[in-house]
Amino acid sequence: MIRKIKYRLLAYFIVLSTISNPHNLIGQDNHYYYVNTYELNSQDNYYDIYLKSIDLNDRSIQHIIRLGERGYISLKKPVLINIVGQKYLLSFSENGGFGKNSEMGLYTVYYSILLANDTLALIRSDSIPNATITILRQYPFEESFRFGLSSVVDHTQILPESEYSLNTNLNFRKLRGFDPSREPGGLRDIDGFEFLDRFTVPNLQNLFYSMRDSEYWILRLDSTANEILDSRILQMRESASIIFAFHPIRNKIYCFYLNFEQHGKFPEYEKNYGDHWITPEVLIYDPTTFELLETQEINDFTPENYPSVESGLADVVGDFIVYYFFDDEWMGKFYPAMLLIFDTRTNETTWLRVGWR
């Protein structure tokens, strides 16, 4: 059972730390991908929380660590922090309130810290009672994570919403505040695009993407990032998810159109296997001209192993483009948690079921 701590222990969270460059967390030589997921506990019909490492070269689950019983997973991927050349993962969950996999009772935030090398090692598991997470997010290549805790008793701040990291003793360290309306490296209000987000950091090609009129756009800006030099719309398709990424090693933009299923509380919104089906494919673009270079059909998922509808930016891990489908459809039921793995060397697509969502 995860050990509970007292509020007085929170005082040691804000201490000094030494953090090295995070850009190696998802680097060319890295072929591991990490996910949080649920697995059924057959003894009490609740779902336990697990962290798993995926070997992308083998397209297989390599390591599995149980983090806790019950509770709602706060972030689908663990936070990655690099401390003096060592890679650590942080996984958070909440229990006690109205939420998926949660039982009513003392509202508690749980967190685990793991060392991630060629294997996984659980270093610490702690909990903070009478607390709720107000924000938890880590952007791609961000050296810190955005985090905040408040009291469920009187709604006062326990940890203010700020950027945090870990110190060498693996305690939380507050770094700085942040503007909640801006993403790292993002831009606002350029030529009719309200928000522009970077594909990667660093962004040598000045490539951005944006949503306008319910459509995704890819954009290339000048060296000052003040003027749009070129743009292309990524057409949305009815009954399809759209996932995209820029791969710096291949120097190409990849846009995936994928099938999905939809199940939940309301029968009128059901979408079963084969309903309104498309031929899944990837469109590959030149990042400097936005010329369509090639179109490739890709593998579809199999029955009973399906993602829900999600759209947006995928992760780049070495030679691979990866997207973890984990959006919840309905808190009253669990659905397959699916990982899309695309090998840019061979244009081979793999669907891997990694747990439940």
Boundaries of every domain in the chain: 3-176, 192-234, 237-356
Q: Tell me which amino acid residue 303 is.
A: P
Cα angle for residues 145, 150, 151 (degrees, 5° grid): 150
Q: Per-residue pLDDT for 123 more than 60?
A: yes
Tell me what the mean pLDDT of segment 219-223 comes to.
94
pLDDT band at 249 (very low <50, low <70, confident <90, very high): very high
pLDDT band at 13 (very low <50, low <70, confident <90, very high): very low
pLDDT at site 27:
38
pLDDT at site 15:
34
- State how far the Cα of 326 lies from the Cα of 95, in Å rounded to an integer: 19
Q: Per-residue pLDDT for 200 more than 90?
A: no
Beta bridge partners of 256: 243, 282
- Chain Cα centroid distance, residue 350: 18
pLDDT at site 257:
98
The CA radius of gyration of the chain, in Å to the nearest whole number, is 21
Tell me what the mean pLDDT of segment 273-277 comes to.
96
Nearest to 195 by CA among 23, 313, 286: 313
What is the pTM for the complete model shown?
0.90
pLDDT band at 118 (very low <50, low <70, confident <90, very high): confident
Q: Per-residue pLDDT for 307 more than 90?
A: yes
Q: Tell me which long-range contacts 43-49 makes (C-beta under 8 A, separation of at least 24).
A: 46/70, 46/101, 46/103, 47/101, 47/334, 47/356, 49/73, 49/91, 49/93, 49/101
pLDDT at site 331:
86
pLDDT at site 217:
97
The residue count for the chain: 357
Quick check: 271 and 236 in contact, CB under 8 A? no
DSSP letters spanning 103-137: -SSS-EEEEEEEEESSSEEEEEEEEEETEEEEEEE
Helix (H, G, I), strand (E, B) or coil at 36: strand
pLDDT digit string, tens, across residues 55-91: 999 999 999 999 999 899 999 999 999 998 899 999 9
Tell me what the mean pLDDT of segment 332-357 comes to.
97
Quick check: 283 and 353 in contact, CB under 8 A? no
